[in-house]
Amino acid sequence: MSEITGEVLQQYRRDLHRIPELALEEYETHDYLLNKVKGWQNDTMTIRTVDALPTAILIRFEGKDPQRTLGYRADIDALPVEEKTNLPFASQHAGRMHACGHDVHMTLALAMVQYFSQHQPKDNLIIFFQPAEEAKSGGKVAYDLGLFENEWRPDEFYGIHDQPALPAGMLSTLAGTLFAGTAELTVDVHGVGGHAAYPHLLKDPIVIASELIVQLQTVVSRSVNPIKGGVVSVGKIRGGFTNNVIPDDVHFEGTVRSMTKSGLDVMMTRIRQIAAGVALANDVVIDVSLESGSYLPVENNIKLANNLIDFMTTRDDIAFELAEPAMTGEDFGYLLQQIPGVMLWLGVNDVTHSLHSPQLNIDESALLPGFTALKDFIEWRMNQNV
């Protein structure tokens, strides 16, 4: 019976860190995970892959005396980021990096599979390695494909997310909304271009796009309850090709975020209304796309979260603190709209770099205490009567 040590977890994490892949392209990652899992397979385990979502893996453990089915989810995709850590186990895939810590998420889930293959759980347990969290709504795709029906449906779902700002190994969550719901904003302003010396004969999409971007800032300041808050940020704009020609079109992209689904719906409605008004006032066409996909607010179930918090805070060997809500987006939110559950932060102690930074360098001493705390909670939860 192999022991799960910090060194074992470190090796899993480094192996996975070397092979980052983008959403729905996680084939090498899938093969690594599947090979590990098959090496631990026994009569209590069922391993499931899905042709319609080929990089997903589900493992179901049959409980010894089940009264419920618990679920644990780990996302497996990476970001289109060029790594700049200079680590000896840095990404081997150019322009790809586990800059959001999914290598850590997978490591803890792998350790869960390894542990429960050696210690049959009391309740049924499902471990879900989910593709496409960063893009393409993998959680929603999985749910819509029926992956969580019948004996594969958890009664409760749990998962973690790295937090560089917390000390290594510290767990943190709250009862209620932990992360915001998000929508990706794409706008195309179609004007009439021509010589910059004759703007009166044209319909300048640069000026119109600028007007629209400024107007969008009123969505949060004037259409959202200031106690609840929200975000509308434009992060990309493209238009024009030289200094003395007004282009025909301007394209820009951004993100919209709210701590509630109803708030997100209000913000998206106002964005469309403002864009329509600016288009009418300037006699142009403005195309607006708002895609929320599976990135709904991560709303922790109040009862389950308080139960988990009670466990964490009564254990002297677990570092835990209550979290504050964050505008981070996570597609686990979609699954939590369908199945009650809880997401937690796991501290990885890189206060210099944020998530998605090409220099993010997590503290691997977080791995063992993070795994131990979550594994112990799952076993404790299985021994509760309600």
Task: Check: CB of residue 249 under 8 Å from CB of residue 187.
Answer: no
CA distance from start to end of the chain: 32
- Give all strands (DSSP E) within 86-193, no chain letters: 124-130, 156-163, 171-173, 177-190
> Residue 283 and residue 17: Cα distance in Å, rounded?
51
- Helices assigned H by DSSP within 160-289: 205-223, 261-282
Task: Check: CB of residue 180 under 8 Å from CB of residue 297.
Answer: yes
Any idea what DSSP says for residue 145?
A: T
> 378 in helix, strand or coil?
helix
Is 25 annotated to bind a ligand? Reply is: no
> Residue 279 and residue 112: Cα distance in Å, rounded?
54
Task: Check: CB of residue 205 under 8 Å from CB of residue 250.
Answer: yes
Is 356 annotated to bind a ligand? Reply is: yes
Task: Check: CB of residue 139 under 8 Å from CB of residue 330.
Answer: no
Active-site residue list: 75, 134
Q: By C-alpha distance, which of 291, 289, 288 is closest to 264?
A: 291
State the amino acid at position 199 in one-letter form. Answer: P
> Residue 250 and residue 275: Cα distance in Å, rounded?
14
Is 119 annotated to bind a ligand? Reply is: no
> Residue 131 and residue 141: Cα distance in Å, rounded?
10
> Residue 126 and residue 58: Cα distance in Å, rounded?
7
Element (H, E) at 58: strand 53-61
List binding-site positions.
Answer: 100, 102, 134, 161, 356
List binding-site positions for Mn(2+).
Answer: 100, 102, 134, 161, 356
